[in-house]
Chain A
C-alpha cells in the first residue's frame, strides 16, 4: 500500500504551467517548474480545489472504473447520500437505488444508513465529559488531513467514530452474507463518491488499519448509466430508506441536525473551515460541543466529482428528505447493531510534519532566519511567477533547496539591469 497515495493527480500533457491552481491551493501544496505543475504529496489533502480551478482540466481524480465490480460475483453499491441530489427529476430515493441495480450492482446499501449509525455513536461520544470540546467531525477526510498538517493540536478533538462510508460497508457485507448465505470474501462493496478525498481515505485510511470498501467509483462515471433509466425502473416503494437525518449528512450542517444537539457549528469550504479551526486553536469557541467542517462548499453535494450544481443538488436532497417519513436515528438504529459491531477508529491519527523546516529545532531556527532575510529582498507581490504560491513560500522553497533566488522575475530583472549597465560600462572603456 502506497503511503503517499493521492487521488488528485496531474495530467501533465494538459498542464500549461499557469498559476490558477498554484495560488488557490489551500495547502500551498502546488509548485510550477519547467512549465508544469507538481503536487507536493506530503501536503496535499485531496480536497479537489485544484480540480475545480484548473481551466485546462489537467487536475484529475483517480477513481476506480465501473468495470472493477466485475471482480466480484456479488457486488453492492454504497451510494453517498449526495448522489440523490444529482438527479433533479428523480421521483424518490428508492428509484435511484433501484436504478443502480440496472448498471451492474446486485444490491444497494445506503451510506445514509451508515450515517444514521454514525449519528448514534456520535451522540454517545458527546456524552463523555472527558473528551475535549468542541469535538470535531471525522466525516470529511480532507479536513481530517488538514488538521494533521496545519492544526495538529486539534487532533485529540477529532471524533473517534468511523466515516459513514466505512460503517455502511461493514453493515452491507454482513447483512448480504447472512441473507444470501454467501461468504464475505465473495462480496464486493463499492462506494459511489462525490469527491477525491474519499478515494484516498479508502486506499490510505486514517484512524483504521484497512478500509472495508473494495473500490471507489466517481459519481460522474455512473451518471450516464443511471440518468436515462430513472423514469423507466419501478422501485419497490416499501423499501426501507435511511432516516431523513442520515440522508441529511449530504448537506453542510446535516451532522449537527442529525445529532440533535445545541451548541454546534457547521462550516463549509476548506478556507472557511481553516479560519474557524484557527479560532478553536486559539481557545475561543470552547462552549461549542460539536464542529463539522466540510472541505467542499455546500458539503458533500458540492464535491468535485458531482455533476449537478451544488445549490440545485442541495435543494433536491432537501426535497427528497421532506418526502421521507419522519424518523429519528435513535428509533431507526437498533441497539443490537451498536452492540454487535465496533465502529470506532482504532489506530491513532498522527501529526503530519510536512510544514516543519527541519527535524532539529535549532536547524529549523537557522532556516527560519534565512527565510526572513530572503523575504526582505522579495517584492511581496505574491504573483506566483516564480512557481511558488507566495513570496514567503518562495523564500522557504529556496531554503529547502527547491528554487533559486533568480527564479523571481523581479530579482532577475534587477540583476539583468545591473549586468546590462556593466556591459555598457565595459564597452565604453577606451584604450589609454
Chain B
C-alpha cells in the first residue's frame, strides 16, 4: 500500500499540472503503463485542473491497494450545486481566465468518468466536493 497526496491551491496556474505529473512519474516507476496509465494521465490532469479552476483549494491523492489505483480529489468548497448538469458534456462554469486558457469546454467531469473504471462523486454546496476514481491495475476498460 502506497499513498501520496498533493495539495492544490485555488487559481494557482503556475503549479497547475505538477501534481498529476508527479503521480504519473510515480506510476511509471512502479511499472504501470499502457492503457491504464493513459487513462489515469487524462483523468488526473482533468481533476487537478478542476481543483485549480473551480474549487477553493483541496488535495489530490493517489493510493494503490493491489487491485485498483485510486485517485481521490477532495476540496474545501464551494461544492457543485447541480451535479446532474456538471456530468453532462458541454456544461461548464469555468471563469474567463480558465476559458482564455482553453479550459471550460465542459468536458472535465464527463472525461474523468469515461476514463475511470470506478467513478464516485459527492458534493455539498458550501462544504466541498469529493471525487473518487478507481482504475483496475490489470487493464480495466479499454478506450
Contacts and interface: CB of A to CB of B under 8 A. Distances in A.
B38 interface: yes
B66 interface: yes
A152 B1 contact: no
B137 A361 contact: yes
Interface residues of A, number: 23
Interface string B29-48: 11111110110011011100
A355 B29 contact: yes
Contacts of B102: 284
Nearest to A153: B38
A340 to B, nearest CB: 37
Contacts of B38: 153, 281
B73 interface: no
A351 interface: yes
Interface string B1-35: 11010000000000001001100101011111111
A359 B33 CA distance: 12
B111 interface: yes
A400 to B, nearest CB: 11
A362 B66 contact: yes
A362 B137 CA distance: 12
A346 interface: no
Given A281-B41, A282-B42, A365 B1 contact: yes
A284 B21 CA distance: 13
A161 B31 CA distance: 29
Contacts of B29: 355-357, 364, 368, 396
Nearest to A366: B2
A314 B50 CA distance: 42
Contacts of B4: 372
A365 B2 contact: yes
Interface string B54-72: 0000000000101000000
Interface in A263-301: 278, 281-284
B31 A153 contact: no
Nearest to B66: A362
A368 B1 CA distance: 10
Interface string B70-100: 0000000000000000000000000000000
Contacts of B32: 361
Contact of B41 (A153, A368, A396): A153
A376 interface: no
A332 B69 CA distance: 52
Contacts of B42: 282-283
Contacts, number: 63
Given A278-B21, A365-B2, A365-B64, A283 B31 contact: no
B94 to A, nearest CB: 15
Contacts of B44: 282
A353 interface: yes
Interface string A350-381: 01010111110110110011001000000000
Nearest to A372: B4
Q: Most chain-B Cβ atoms within 10 A of its Cβ — which of A153, A278, A362?
A: A153
B111 A283 contact: yes
A52 interface: no
Contact of A365 (B21, B24, B30): B30
A24 interface: no
Interface in A362-417: 362, 364-365, 368-369, 372, 396
A282 B41 contact: yes
B33 A351 contact: yes
Contacts of A361: 30-32, 64, 137
Interface of A: 150, 152-153, 278, 281-284, 351, 353, 355-359, 361-362, 364-365, 368-369, 372, 396
Given A351-B33, A357-B30, A361-B31, 5 more contacts: A282-B20, A355-B29, A364-B30, A368-B29, A396-B29
29 contacts: A152-B33, A152-B34, A152-B37, A153-B33, A153-B34, A153-B38, A281-B24, A281-B41, A282-B17, A282-B41, A282-B42, A282-B45, A283-B41, A283-B42, A284-B45, A284-B102, A353-B31, A355-B28, A356-B30, A357-B30, A358-B31, A359-B31, A361-B32, A362-B66, A364-B30, A365-B30, A368-B26, A369-B2, A396-B29
